[in-house]
Structure 1
Amino acid sequence: MPPFAGKRILLGVSAGIAAYKSALIIRLLKQAGMEVRVVMTDGAQAFITPLTLQALSGEPVRTSLLDPGAEAGMGHIELARWADLILIAPGTADLMARLAHGMADDLLTTLCLASEAPRLMAPAMNQVMWRHPATQRNLEQLSRDGWQWVGPDAGDQACGDIGPGRMSEPEAVAEAVFKVFRPAQTSRSCHIVITAGPTREPLDPVRYLSNHSSGKMGYALAHAAARTGARVSLISGPVNLPTPAGVERFDVDSAAQMHSAAHRLAQGADIFIGCAAVVDFRAEAPAEHKIKKHQNEDSLTLILVKNPDIIADIAALPSASRPLVIGFAAETRDVEHYARDKLARKGLDMIVANDISQAGGVFGSDDNAAWLLWKTPDGQASESLPSQPKARLASDIIQRALDLLAFGETP
């Protein structure tokens, strides 16, 4: 079941070029299982059509306070009571001013006055308008009235200016919505340990066994986890990536080193995510000196031994110190079959499976798709996440992990 199934979002769209972003916001909220109904101001309809948002939300779009059909049953009051959250994206300077003064001169402002639901706004306007003292006074008043905010961001604007006032990206707005409903205790004081990147197993002082892992997925997970406010420990194999802000990084090289760091950090942690591509075998006896190629030898025999199974060992920790354990499965065929087998065989709580046989692969790419499988009190549940930037996919996975930690299964 999607993580926020049944939550009811009333999305208000006001006049601004950023209104086009509301379409993707609806899609992201619907993917999370939320019900979305849309109210548009007159000006908003000049930038995006009600039909577009109706097709995405699956619900009629309301545009008028004086709608005879709806008002026969006091429709605006029913809609105000229906909402679990009112989200306005984009929110213009004009709309902020009217709300700050308690006006109810159209359907959207009337709903805001008639509802007791939490209220969240993503402002969008020219940088001079955002900085204007009147807008800042309205911002302060609305904050005192209980409004929450996402953005605005700074950067290039449609008018050619550069500065604060850009509406936050749809992913950031959706994440702000999710935070309203996510139990605060799931991320506050939560310790998440993540492994990332490849390991290297030396054959001699020059050569080693490894794989194509870039570490991008693990680092994206660490960044997404840190954004929730969690304490994040990242155990990283050799990669060429900067440490995400707010993350404590522990560099390792071999599987044995990663195994030692994982055991030390995972005991007492809340969540352990094994995203690293750990080399399964190592040389039994790495050569002390560089292995030479001799003219009379056409082959080389290496004796390899198994590396420790990091994720299985963490899953086998005593319950008092065992975290929620999430593994990854990169497969070239029968993805679901092998994922179910790995979940059971290694005693995991959730597994993230990737099909690496697709064109372009997964290692080193910026996009990824995944199939999630997790344990529930009644058995197992699963969800497919479409191909998308790894940063967005990582945010979805962290959300599922936090929900699983809070509820024992995703809500």
Structure 2
Amino acid sequence: MGAAAQPATVLNELRRAQRADGPAAVLAIGTAVPANCVRQDDFTDWYFRVTKSDHLTELKAKMKRMCDKSGIKKRYFHHTEEMIGGHPELLDRAAPSLGARLRISADAVPELAAAAAERAIAEWGRQAADITHLVVTTNSGGNEPGADLRLARLLGLRPTVRRTLLYLHGCSASFIAIRLAKDIAENNRGARVLVACAHSTILPFGAPDEAQLDALVAMAIFGDGAGAAIVGADPTNPVERPIFHIASSSQATLPGTEHAVAINLGEGGVRYRMSAEVPELVRSNIERCLVDSLAPLGQAAASGCGWNGPFWAVHPGSRPLLDSYEAALGLETGKLAASRRVLSEYGNMLAATIIFVLHEMRRRRQDGEKEGEESQWGIMSTLGPGLTIETIVLQASGDRNDG
């Protein structure tokens, strides 16, 4: 029995030695957008001009109303009027265009991700070569080798960096990536995980079509951008300074809602399906999902103030979605201020957007603004295809100037 037990004892000791002592934390954040900026007030005219669709006057008026109600002031795009003009296949539904879209994205996505990652690494204070793991997410690709390998080369990461590439997870991809980064950091002593989320809306870009109103909604709210975060446990003082500790993560799929949000890759690029009932699904289900997500934490994240106790980093998928969170949870005006500001300044950049929200939340904490000043615990939330609700519980660093 003693001889048989010895290997198990060795394995247990090895396992303990491999694990970190403390919880994972976000150690640095970086964001980036392309140079081409289009104001939302001008977008409808710009979009119908570059797609040669000015004759569709009723559809143009419909998009104008969407843009006016979106809560967005401006968005950024890798594609320009000149680029669209040079690729007529992007506007011809009868012509296969996936190859052209993927070639454009193959350059745009890693370069945009590198810009955000370089800012995160500079803030982190250590060398890029100290990154041990790389998790990249994008809706704008389908190649292998993909954006992860190109990004690793652009940043000068070691050839031994362990890479993971996630495609087509929509707005929830960053939550999946951070969840994965948490597990890696806590189960591999000394691991430093670079999470990079980058998107270029050239894949869903196309001419307006009355029969595809979902595509029109996507054109009215989506923008290009990249967000990066470095995640690790047991920070090395004084160089590494945690911004947010990652307490837990969870996922819940609402039965019978597969039709509500979907992403499909085809010869004409990416098509998004977003049902008009999504805001109501959020109002009906979000509180139950949050209660289930927080239950394993017991009273640790409770503040005695109900849902207004924590700070909130909600993915700003759209203005109606943010309104649904507020209505369902009884949130005070201003609790979603960080999310609304990011939506206003950048639009919905899919998975990258939540990194911008964390960046904005951190700024507000440093400046002593109300949303960050009162709360130590916070909740990140988003929706994904399924319909899936992702939740991550954060604990903010005790010192607002950390990170």
Query: The TM-score by the shorter chain falls in which range?
Result: under 0.3
| Higher Rg of the two aligned structures | 1
Higher relative contact order (Cα pairs below 8 Å, separated by 6+ residues): 2
TM-score (norm. length: structure 2): 0.26
